[in-house]
Amino acid sequence: MSATLSYVFCLVRGARRPTLGGIGDGMPGGRELRAIEVGDRFWAIVQSVPEGEYGESSLARGLQDLEWVGPRAIAHERVIESFLSSTALLPMQLFTLFNSDDRVVEHVRSDRARIARILKRIEKKVEWGVRLTWNEQAARDKAAKKQARTGTEFLARKRDVLDVSRKQLAEARTAADRVYKAIDRQAAASQRRTSLERAAPGSRLLLDAAFLVPAARSGAFKTAVREQTRALRGTGIETSVTGPWPAYNFIQ
């Protein structure tokens, strides 16, 4: 029998062994998924994968190939998200590997205090993502549609169309800041990825944020997002809401 490694998807808290039916195949080339008890009502969702494909040297080569990484990243997230309704769900990073199940148990137990702190923070909570982007053409179209009854108004409209890129982008950023602050009050925690928003001069990404929300308040959170972004319709600001997800951005 060829050598295998233990691939860990996540830790799940539950009084009983988690049900694994209907989740799917897990990682390409892997065997059946299993749940191993690691103590204190924690279960590690694990799969044996071939060392020849997931060992250190093979993994280093595979990480250079997006076509190799892509299906595995999707499989990794699909398994984790199958446990979204669990009391507490701690997702592992992609390609978390151990030599054996015993090493998985040993690692979790040795890191128990830190894991417990993280689980306390994310227990019964899910992650929502909110993005606001600037559609310059939509804003220009709105400015161009203004009716001009006089020559002065015509020139003002023409100025607005030409000025929309600079002036309205600044206004859009201010609006995005206001929306973020308002919906942040509905969350237990949030992370705003400002480095991505300002990655390049003139970036059209106004807001890229993740929010940690009590699962029971997900409906109220979505309502708050709709209320805060309703006034943005027709201004060139477009809203994207994703989730619920495991608390990927709140486990560090």
149 band by pLDDT with thresholds 50, 70 and 90: low
243 band by pLDDT with thresholds 50, 70 and 90: very high
Q: How far apart are CA 204 and CA 189, in angstroms?
A: 25
At 196 the pLDDT is 72
pLDDT tens-digit map of 4-28 = 999 999 999 888 888 888 888 899 9
Instruction: Work out the angle between the directed axes of helices 218-229 and 169-184 (0-180°, nearest 10).
Output: 150
Mapping DSSP onto H, E and C, the string for 92-153 reads CCCCCEECCHHHHHHHHHHCHHHHHHHHHHHCCEEEEEEEEEECHHHHHHHHHCCCCCCHHH
127 band by pLDDT with thresholds 50, 70 and 90: very high
Check pLDDT > 70 for residue 129: yes
Check pLDDT > 80 for residue 150: no
Q: Which of 92, 24, 94 is nearest to 59 (CA)?
A: 94
Q: Which of 91, 87, 68, 69 is nearest to 79 (CA)?
A: 91
Q: How far apart are CA 175 and CA 122, in angstroms?
A: 29
CB 172 within 8 A of CB 135: no
Q: How far apart are CA 141 and CA 161, in angstroms?
A: 8
CA dihedral of residues 59, 61, 65, 69 (deg, nearest 10): 0
- Better-predicted residue by pLDDT, 210 or 153: 210
128 band by pLDDT with thresholds 50, 70 and 90: very high
List b or e across 61-89, with b for residues whose CB sees 16 or more CB atoms inside 10 angstroms: ebeeeeebbeebeebbbebbbbbeebebb
Residue 191's DSSP bridge partners are: 210
Provide the token pair at 103.
């090493």
Question: Once rounded to an integer, what is the mean pLDDT over residues 195-224?
Answer: 85
Q: What is the mean pLDDT of the chain?
A: 87
Q: How far apart are CA 106 and CA 124, in angstroms?
A: 26
Check pLDDT > 60 for residue 140: no
User: Which range among 104-108, 160-164, 203-207 shows the weakest confidence by mean pLDDT?
Assistant: 160-164
With tokens 């890129």, the residue in question is: 165
At 124 the pLDDT is 92
Q: How far apart are CA 229 and CA 130, in angstroms?
A: 11
Q: Interior CA angle at 128 toward 203 and 33, to 5°?
A: 120
pLDDT tens-digit map of 30-85 = 999 999 999 888 899 999 999 999 999 999 999 999 999 999 999 999 999 999 98
Stated pTM of the model:
0.80
